[in-house]
Amino acid sequence: MKKFLVSPSPHFHGRENTRRIMRDVIIALLPAVAVSIVYFGISAIKLVVLGVVTCVLTEFIIEKYMLRRKVTVNDLSATVTGILLALNMPASSPWWAIVIGSVVAIGIAKMTFGGIGQNIFNPALVGRVFLLVSFPVVMTNWSVPHSFLGTSLDAVSGATPLVLVKEALDGGQTVPQIFAANPGLSYSQLLFARIGSAGEVSTVALLLGFVYLLARKVIRPYITFSIWGSAILLSGILWLANPAEFTDPLFNLLTGGMMLGSIFMATDYTTSPMNKWGMIIFGTGIGFLTILIRRFGAYPEGVSFAILIMNATVPLLNKWCKPERFAKEAR
Amino acid sequence: MKTFSIGGVHPNDYKLAADAPIENLPIPDIAYISMSQHLGVPAIPVVAVGDKVKVGQLIANAGGFISAPVHSSVSGTVKKIGPVKDLSGKEVNTVTIETEGDEWIDTIDRSGDIVREIKLDSKQIIERIKECGVVGLGGATFPTCVKLSPPPGCKAEFLIINGAECEPYLTSDYRVMMEMPEQIIIGAAIMMKALGVSKGFIGVEDNKPEAIEKLGAFEKDYPGIKVVPLKKKYPQGGEKQLIDAVVGRKVPSMGLPIATGSVVQNIGTTLAVYEAVQKNKPLFEGIMTVTGNCAPGQKNFRHRVGTPLSKIAEYAGGIPEEAVKILSGGPMMGKAISNMDAPTLKGSSSILYLTEEQTKRKEETFCIKCGKCIQACPMGLEPYLLNKLGRINDMEGLEENRIFDCIECGCCQFTCPAYIPLLDTIRIQKGRVMRIIKNRPKK
């Protein structure tokens, strides 16, 4: 008689797999990639390609020749890290910066912990912060986005809205004065195109990706919404208390890495909590820390640091915040 | 529309045999009637080799309180009493009967008339159900009479009939609801009388609108019974999930369903209760589905208990070439069959053929902490954590994280994007934790 397979239930598996999830994240990042290519042209393409190739290659070499185990680059997670790191860099940064950042992201932040699913800190952010503290000049040389292809862009550089405001405040100006002097700070500019890293120039493109991730149930909204909510709350209180010293909540939401960070970086599965309340505490922490760092820290931008700090709390949050159980114990 | 409150998944429901009317299978030449067709102690044979038996005749008595008597499903001569391999190859004490004709005991009402009046009182009903060997046909085969006699201090308030049939492919309950709706309603009324409750609910998932309509038509004639449409989600038919969905109460952890005032019975069981009480017919037949995407035909059969599975497969067109795994039950909780010569039992619900593409396990990759298993778990557990603790044998950790609440529905493993066999680990470690808890000295 023909022999049949015997195994315990369940005998079915859903359609979900890691590669499919990562592919969805890549699709969600496409609008932001497209916008950065439109604004920065060849330099944006160069960044993304270099980031992806270096990340994938680093993972491949480490797994194949150092760990001598099955190579997992097919799960596309290194590709996601590469794209995210590229989107976090100034478009004008030199080729070696993204290469070094990618090696650090995959080699140190991810593989030393055991690879996918095991790392404590977000690899792309570790790569970015490593570059920021090692090569501060390169990492803050922002090119001005230009919506017309073919114009030479790399030569033009300027300050990001956050830098501009922080420097002017430190120089003794008040917030309304700064806004009056800089038409580039208008909300329409902030929504569609502003100075910043390759991926954060267009808030609208990032929001499109967010909607896609939610619709595909790749992420849940708790982390992102808590970041926005707490950032609005803290910056709102400060702004209401002293509108001359502090920028308004909407400005804080639309500038820097807030959107890119809250939608794509803080929601990374491995480095964020798994249960609802853990997610809410995690997101709230990021929102508060971001606003505090922006106004009172040494750097004009704090999203990366805020996320990395909160990454460290994830094991504890997973331990403390349990999912809603079906029922109470009878015993 | 109602459904259970947390977790759950949406497998494709593949109700391929939904439109196939119930056909009577031919009576087998030899019937192998198992003594272990129920949860609990095996039944004790009361016939001897060489005895002549009739259809419906008692051939074995209940072996204890949690046990059930067994009746012959054929007429003929007892050839052997001894071990026969069941569907997983385990040897089980079995009465083997060679069939001669089809002579029924004369106490059974074989007419097609629907008997509406319930003459027996509560005690007599429970006694009759016990004598007729009725057991739960939803999977656990727990003796029905025990469920209908709540322990002292517990009061039943509702009877809930489980018409969810949330497992993909299975259609036997659906066919019963479609073809014998009034018998189901009467069966429910009988059990309500036995329990002394005035409220009965029949929970049916909304992917079976015709069954909801058919049963609903009798609501006005049988006051107290309500058909409750449920939003399709697996595992709606889990006892705890169904109670939550229908009456909104939650069975406490390690507690019994009766703690919520609910008694749950399956559709097949309800039909068996009707036949036992109104027709005096012991449980020796069952309804089962023969299906699968690669199956030669989609069928629903009424089988005599003890018919070899291979005979049924043959009658239904043979085992398809593409089938690599054959299940008894659905794809989420069913059992893989290794021995097709095994006989059907009272609780047999299907022969399901799965292809390699459908069922082959993929290689496990790393957990990415996506939390999808947590979202899928209908008990609010953290399967990834239980798997992790289980693999290092952290028994305290497993108990602290309530592994004993697991209902083994398989939602976590179904969802896991890293193909981690979560339930394999959890099932083994749950058994060990339960034994530790059971053997612990009581304070």
> In the listed set B331, B360, B389, which residue is the last one of a domain according to the structure?
B360
Please indicate whether, in this complex, the C-beta atoms of A118 and B259 are within 8 angstroms of each other: no
B298 inside domain? yes
C-alpha span between A117 and B370 (Å, rounded): 9
Residue B162 has pLDDT above 90, yes or no: yes
Instruction: Give the model's confidence band at B230: pLDDT under 50 very low, under 70 low, under 90 confident, else very high.
Output: very high
Question: pLDDT (tens digit, 9 = 90+) per residue, B307-318?
Answer: 999 999 999 999
The answer to whether the CB of A264 falls within 8 A of the CB of A84 is yes
Tell me which of B360, B394, B414 is where a domain ends: B360
Contact residues for A269 (Cβ-Cβ < 8 A; gap 6+) = A117, B368, B369, B370, B371
Cβ contact A41:A33 at 8 Å? no
Single residue among B360, B384, B415 that ends a domain in this structure: B360
Query: Reading across the β-sheet that carries B44-45, which strands appear in turn?
Result: B44-45, B58-61, B70-71
Contact B6 A324 (CB under 8 A): yes
Distance from A117 to chain B by nearest Cα, in Å? 4
Residue of A nearest to B374 (CA): A323
Q: Are residues B332 and B403 in the same domain?
A: no
Å between A69 CA and nearest CA of chain B: 12
Number of Cβ atoms within 10 Å of the Cβ of B394: 15
Output the DSSP codes for B16-58.
TTTT--EEEPPPPSEEEEES--SSSSPPEE---TT-EE-BT-E
In a domain, B31, yes or no: no
Q: Is B178 on the interface with A (CB under 8 A)?
A: no
State whether B280 and B420 are in the same domain: no
Can you tell me the ipTM of this complex? 0.90
Calculate how close chain A gets to B316, using CA atoms only, in Å.
Answer: 18
Taking alpha carbons only, the member of B134, B110, B87, B106 closest to residue B343 is B87
Distance from CA of B154 to the nearest CA of A (A): 14
B408 touching A (Cβ < 8 Å): yes
| Closest residue, chain B, to A271 (C-alpha) | B369
Of A76, A106, A86, A77, nearest in space to A46 by CA: A86
Q: Which residue has the tokens 């004993």?
A: B404
Whether residues B139 and B218 fall in one domain: yes
Chain A residues inside the 8 Å CB shell of B367:
117
- Residue B349 and residue B382 in one domain: no
Q: Is A325 within 8 Å of B326 when comparing Cβ atoms?
A: no
What mean pLDDT is predicted for residues B40-62? 95
Does B307 lie in the same domain as B398?
A: no
- The total of structural domains in chain B comes to 2
Encode pLDDT of B211-221 as tens digits.
999 999 999 99
Measured between alpha carbons, how far is A103 from A117 in angstroms, rounded to an integer? 18
A118 closest CB neighbour out of B366, B371, B414: B366
The type of residue at B133 is G
B68 in any annotated domain: no
Q: What is the DSSP letter of B403?
A: G
Q: Would the CB atoms of A274 and B374 count as touching at under 8 Å?
A: yes
If you write DSSP's letter for every residue of B227-268 in order, what string do you get?
EEEE---BTTTSHHHHHHHHH---PPBT--GGGGTEEEEEHH
Residue B58 placed within a domain: no
Which residue among A2, A21, A328 places its CB closest to the CB of B252? Answer: A328
Which strand (E) or helix (H) includes residue A51?
Answer: helix A42-61
Whats the size of chain A, residue-wise? 331
Beta strands in B129-224, from DSSP E residues, in sequence order? 158-163, 199-205
Q: What span, in angstroms and rounded, lies between the C-alpha atoms of B253 and B313?
A: 41
Given an 8 Å threshold on Cβ–Cβ distance, is B333 in contact with A9?
yes
What is the domain range of residue B191?
1-23+119-360
Q: Report the gap between the CA of A184 and the closest CA in chain B (Å).
A: 39
- Portion 46-65 of B in contact with A at CB < 8 A: none
Contacts of B414 in chain A (CB under 8 A): 10, 12-14
Contacts of B380 in chain A (CB under 8 A): 323-326
Q: In what order do the strands lie in the sheet with B76-85?
A: B30-34, B91-99, B76-85, B52-53
CB contact under 8 A, A4 and B326: yes
A-B CB pairs within 8 A amount to: 160
The verdict on B327 touching A (C-beta cutoff 8 Å) is: yes
| B327 and B402 housed in the same domain | no
Compute the residue count for chain B: 443
Q: Looking at the complex, report in whole angstroms how far the Cα of residue B234 sits from the nearest Cα belonging to chain A.
A: 12
Phi/psi for B33 (5° steps) reads -100, 110
pTM for the model: 0.91
Residues B393 and B325 both lie in one domain = no
Tell me the per-residue pLDDT of B110-133, one tens digit each, with 9 for 90 and over: 998 999 999 999 999 999 999 999
Residue of B nearest to A77 (CA): B368
On chain A, the residues whose CB falls within 8 A of the CB of B255 are 327, 330
Best of A6, A11, A67, A324 to substitute, by most chain B Cβ atoms within 10 angstroms, is: A11
Residues of B in contact with A280 (CB under 8 A): none
What gap in Å lies between CA B302 and CA B284, rounded to an integer?
A: 10
Q: Is B428 in CB contact (< 8 Å) with chain A? A: no
How high does pLDDT run on average in chain B? 94
Which residues of A lie closer than 8 Å to B, measured between beta carbons?
1-2, 4-14, 16-18, 20-21, 72, 75, 77, 114-118, 269-270, 274-275, 322-331
Block residue for tokens 């058994």: B431
**Number of other residues whose CB lies within 10 A of the CB of residue A324:** 11
What is the chain A residue with the closest CA to B404?
Answer: A329
Is B253's CB within 8 Å of A116's CB?
A: no
Kindly report the nearest CA distance between residue A215 and chain B, in angstroms.
15
**B143-172 residues touching A, CB cutoff 8 A:** 168
Q: Which residues of chain A have pLDDT under 70?
A: 1, 143-158, 184, 188-189, 192-194, 330-331
Angle (deg, nearest 10), helices A42-61 and A18-40? 150
Q: Is B420 in CB contact (< 8 Å) with chain A?
A: no
- Among chain B residues, the shortest Cα distance to A9 is held by B333
Q: Per the CB < 8 Å rule, is A12 touching B415?
A: no
Q: pLDDT exceeding 90 applies to what percent of chain B?
A: 93
HSE of A109, CA atoms in CB hemisphere, 13 A = 28
Instruction: Determine, yes or no, domain membership for B103.
Output: no
> Dihedral, CA atoms, A289, A291, A295, A298, nearest 10 degrees?
40
- A254 and A200 Cβ atoms separated by less than 8 Å: no
> Which residue stretches of B248-393 are H helix?
267-279, 309-315, 356-359, 372-376, 383-391
pLDDT of residue B57: 96
Q: Residue B69 falls within a domain, yes or no?
A: no
My answer on whether B258 and B403 are in the same domain is: no
Q: Is B11 on the interface with A (CB under 8 A)?
A: yes
Q: Do B314 and B202 sit in the same domain of this protein? A: yes
Residues A331, B88: C-beta atoms closer than 8 Å: no
- B271 with B124, same domain: the answer is yes
Distance from CA of B178 to the nearest CA of A (A): 28
| Chain A residues in contact with B362 (beta carbon < 8 A) | 13, 17
DSSP-assigned letters across all residues of A194-247: -SSSTTTS-HHHHHHHHHHHHHTTSS-SHHHHHHHHHHHHHHHHHHHH-TTTS-
Angle at B138 between CA B63 and CA B351, to 5 degrees: 100
Same domain for B296 and B379?
no
Residue B223 lies in a domain: yes
Single out the residue of B161, B322, B177, B318 nearest to residue B246, CA to CA: B161
* pLDDT in the model for residue A155: 41
pLDDT for B103 equals: 94
Residue B52 reports pLDDT greater than 70 = yes
Residues B332 and B379 in one domain: no
Residue B28 included in any domain:
no
- Nearest CB to B336 within list A7, A12, A14: A7
- Residues in chain B with CB shorter than 8 Å from the CB of A7 are 325, 336, 361
Burial of residue B45 (number of CB atoms within 10 Å: 0-12, 13-18, 19+): buried
Residue A12: its chain B contacts at CB < 8 A? 11, 168, 331-332, 358-359, 414
| Domain CATH number, residue B183 | 3.40.50.11540
Residue of A11, A21, A115 lying closest to B325 (CB–CB): A11
What are B168-181's pLDDT values in tens digits?
Answer: 999 999 999 999 99
